[in-house]
Chains A and B, each alone.
Chain A
Amino acid sequence: MRVTQNSIASNTIYNLQQGRIKLDALQESIATQQKVNRPSDDPTSSGVLMDIGDRLKALDQYATSITKANTWVSFTNTALTGMTDIMAQAKKLVSSISSGTSDPSIRQSAHDQLVDLKKQMVDMANTQIGDQYIFSGGKSNVPPFTNTDNAYAGAADPNSTQLTIEIARGTDQAVSITGDRLLLGSVTAPPPSYGETNILETFDNLITAVGDRNIASNATDLAQGATDLQAGFVQITNAVGDNITRMTRLDTISTLNDTNKNMLQSMLDKIQNVDLAQLGVELSSQTTAYQASLSTTAKISQLSLLNYL
């Protein structure tokens, strides 16, 4: 094997280039802290990385949705708690005059209080988040109830769709409670149903039964009203319970999503993150090798018969 000037030159260039390529790859890994910087670095892993990235994005989206759902459920909870208080007040009031009273001013006061409590009930049912009436189901643009009649203006069953959102892959959760289920005691499909009491009508019956300063109370109707009121109270408590179950579910799923996210993130890190210590060792050995080849090249290229002629 003859060694000629050209073969020395091309060998030198090739080998230095190879050394440079290795150094460059190491430098890139260290600078980006990533093992895979483009699909061709590791096609299989890059597919997996994209998949994981996609699922992480989905989990982030679920987290956003759950936050919004939490707002919704909290608003609902506040409204329901308010309604429970109103019902409790109404119950107390009715029990205080359960057998009726002969004092016109007390009758009038009870009458006024009941009218006011019903108004408050309707106000609570008309709670909004932004522009949405939370108890209107699919017709969230209109208030579910007015003070004039007891008709439900929201979407009626079987269309009284509860707003349902996806909170994890394949897992849906209803976040809204419809006004007809809550206050009108609607029991038509689909579930849930909380009771069969028409609470607004019960208020109206009570207002009539208690009479006013001119009209005497009707004890029988009052007793019936008190019973209905109790049933209505249970109905709203059921709704509160359902709503709290929803809150718990959102929390559970949120924790589950976080766990999944951590697991995916750690998978991602395992595939993608570089081991800096290892890279450092490789870099220093590669640098030494490159310096050695540079110095050898410089020394060998000095050698020529010309130096001795």
Chain B
Amino acid sequence: MGLNTAMDIGRNALMIFQTANEVTSQNIANVNTPGYSRQKVVLESGPTSTAVKGYPLESGVRIANVERVYDGLLQQQMVSSGSTQSYDTTKSQVLQQIEPSFNETNTDGLGAAVSKFFASWQDLTTNPAGYFERQAVISRAQGLADNFHSVSQTLTNTISAQDAALAPLTNSININLQGIARLNAEIKNTDMLNGNDNGSRDQRDQLIRDLSQQMGVKFTDNRDGTTDVYVYDSVSNTNIYLVQGTVSGSLTTGGTPPASTVTINDPAGTVLLSVDPKATTPLYSAPDGGQLWGTLQLRDKIIPGYLTQIDTLAESISTSVNALHSAGFSPTGATGQDFFATWAGTGAAANFKLDLGLTSSTIAASSSDQLPGDNSNALKIAKLANGQTTPAATPTATFSSFYSSFVSSFGMDVQSSKAIVAQDDAYMKQLTALRDSNSGVSLDEELTNLLKYQRSYQASAKVITTVSDMLDITLAMIR
């Protein structure tokens, strides 16, 4: 053991503290990087190398590890609640987009159009032969038809928009899947070289979190450093792998809009699950949330459900008005004239229109071919507004109450989805805060570390100059 050993220890320490400050500067530089986990230099004293007069001495300091501060459980929670949050957000946003169609608190909409239509029949009862009253019935009916068209158009457009979102969404999912597989490969390689690929792991964690927002995925970590990503199929009770080690599966869209199909292919390219809105076994057996599931759910279940209700209303109005109207008589004594064009099948609201033969002179206000000035049929039709006529098959509500209870339940859907999103956001915020608290970079902390390592660097330099002085003294002895 000579002075050179002390010199070596000092030189080594200089390099170590330089590295430590590199890690610190890396942390500072990445303070705003999403998904970055702060890294920590773990120092330990070097191995015992020499014994000086029987006393063992360690050979300075060395870096045991540069580790990232990371909580695996938190990652699991963020992935699963990310899927839920994204599903609820997708649903809530779309529902809020269509809400104005049913908002009658400020402006008149479909509900008011129904009232006005039947009010125009009331007007007709006071002057059954009057041209203007007859014309008013026709224009109110036209207004009602316009409202039905507008509502059903909005809903249909929203369904198309959901469908159109599928292709870019699956593309983005595929890119994330490939990214995860590529990072898996990098991490595996670095691991084999005994390295510690903190950056890639952070990136992969971030990609998995991003992916979880798009579809409800789960993941498991493997021993070789790779992570497998899968969705759980609740019907076949199996896991469908999307990323397995260094290979990834993919999602493909097909079919024709607005009823595109989505297919999941596993890494080997086998089709494992597909969603076809017309088929009965869609992707819904893997319902773990995410934007994809939200989009499919909106397209195939939620919005078509609303459309059905509007169709029911349209159908029962046109059926019950037609039944009375075709039994009545026009001023010229003609009968059998439908008021609304008859429509079989779905889409009653979209195809709600006046019968081609209906003009102001063929409106059947009278109950007798002998009485052109009679209003009793008009009175019957006007009174439909107060009768329980909806839905046509099992009437339990008036047109207006059917519609207002539909709007009420729709409002309930929007309200609860908003509330759930608020909860999700709060929960996600808490998880993010926990992650930031644990893995995030604190500038004050890093600055303190910077100072600490700087001082240590200065001290190590001082060791070297001191030893150098000592060497000078020794050399001076032999002059």
Contacts and interface: CB of A to CB of B under 8 A. Distances in A.
A305 B126 contact: no
Contacts of B379: 164-166, 172
Interface stretch (B287-295, B356-364, B437-445): B437-445
A161 to B, nearest CB: 5
B103 A38 contact: yes
Contacts of A141: 129, 331, 372-373
B399 to A, nearest CB: 9
Given A138-B368, A139-B371, A305-B444, A44 B408 contact: yes
Most interface-central of B103, B376, B413, B418 (chain A CB within 10 A)? B103
Contacts of B383: 166
B123 A65 contact: yes
Given A5-B440, A130-B127, A304-B443, A46 B371 contact: no
B468 interface: no
Interface of A: 1-7, 10-11, 14, 32, 34, 36-44, 46-47, 49-51, 53-54, 57-58, 60-62, 64-65, 68-69, 72, 130-132, 136-141, 155, 159, 161, 163-166, 169-170, 172, 175, 272, 304-306, 309
Given A5-B443, A39-B411, A50 B403 contact: yes
Contacts of A166: 122, 125, 379, 382-383
Contacts of B123: 61, 64-65, 68
Contacts of B125: 65, 163-166
B127 A132 contact: yes
B437 A1 contact: yes
B436 A6 contact: yes
Interface string B381-397: 01101100000000000
A6 B36 CA distance: 11
B449 to A, nearest CB: 11
B373 A6 contact: no
Nearest to B411: A39
Contacts of B31: 5-6
Nearest to A163: B375
Contact of A47 (B100, B405, B415, B451): B405
Contact of B372 (A5, A139, A164): A139
Given A7-B433, A166-B125, 19 more contacts: A3-B442, A6-B440, A10-B432, A10-B436, A11-B433, A38-B411, A42-B411, A43-B411, A46-B411, A131-B130, A139-B373, A140-B128, A140-B373, A155-B371, A163-B128, A164-B375, A164-B376, A166-B379, A305-B447
Interface of B: 31-32, 95-96, 99-100, 102-106, 111-112, 115-116, 119, 122-123, 125-130, 331, 366, 368, 370-376, 379, 382-383, 385-386, 400-401, 403-405, 407-415, 418, 425, 429, 432-433, 436-438, 440-445, 447-448, 451
Contacts of A49: 104-105
A293 B125 CA distance: 64
A54 B31 CA distance: 59
A46 B408 contact: yes
Nearest to B123: A64
Q: Which 3 residue pairs across A and B have the least CB separation, nearest first? A: A39-B411, A140-B373, A138-B371
Contacts of B112: 53, 57
Contact of A5 (B374, B413, B442): B442
Contacts of B411: 38-43, 46-47
